């Protein structure tokens, strides 16, 4: 996927960010970006850093003999720590949101 397409989306998924990691890291705007575009690029780069950090943790744990790997939770994020909600699995960040959607009446 093109980075310019990703920038038009309100939220890129972790998979899209990982698939476009090189492009996200090296992307430069041909024209002056809108504030929303530069903000989204910043968000994608931050998330990419988080995902890379998680991969390093998972790798270290594997080397240490622990069963740890990144899992794609139902919320759409990769996480090492999978939480269980009534709507499915979620990462720690989405736990409240995933739980509230069923309980928030």
Instruction: Give the binding range for Zn ion (CB under 5 A) out of 16-24, 29-37, 46-54, 68-76.
Output: 68-76
Q: Quick one: 7 or 98, whose CB is closer to Zn ion? A: 98
**Which long-range contacts link 55-58 to residues 24+ away (Cβ below 8 Å)?**
none
Report the DSSP beta bridge partners of residue 88.
Answer: 85
* Site mask for Zn ion (CB under 5 A), range 81-100, x = bound: ----------x--x------
Query: What secondary structure letter does DSSP report for 8?
Result: H
Instruction: Give the binding range for Zn ion (CB under 5 A) out of 9-17, 30-38, 58-66, 67-75.
Output: 67-75
At residue 54, the 3 state secondary structure works out as: helix
Q: Quick one: 7 or 73, whose CB is closer to Zn ion? A: 73
Report the candidate in 60, 18, 89 with the shortest Cα–Cα distance to residue 68.
60
Q: What tokens does 1 get?
A: 């996927």
What residue ranges bind Zn ion (CB under 5 A)?
Answer: 75, 77, 91, 94
């Amino acid at each position: 996927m093109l980075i310019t397409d990703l920038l038009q989306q309100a939220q890129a998924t972790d998979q899209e960010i990982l698939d476009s990691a090189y492009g996200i890291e090296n992307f430069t705007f041909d024209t002056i970006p809108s504030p929303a575009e530069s903000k989204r690029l910043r968000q994608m780069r931050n998330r990419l850093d988080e995902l890379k950090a998680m991969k390093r943790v998972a790798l270290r744990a594997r080397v240490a003999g622990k069963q740890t790997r990144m899992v794609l939770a139902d919320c759409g994020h990769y996480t090492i720590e999978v939480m269980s909600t009534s709507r499915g699995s979620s990462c720690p960040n989405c736990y409240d949101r995933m739980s509230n959607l069923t309980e928030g009446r």
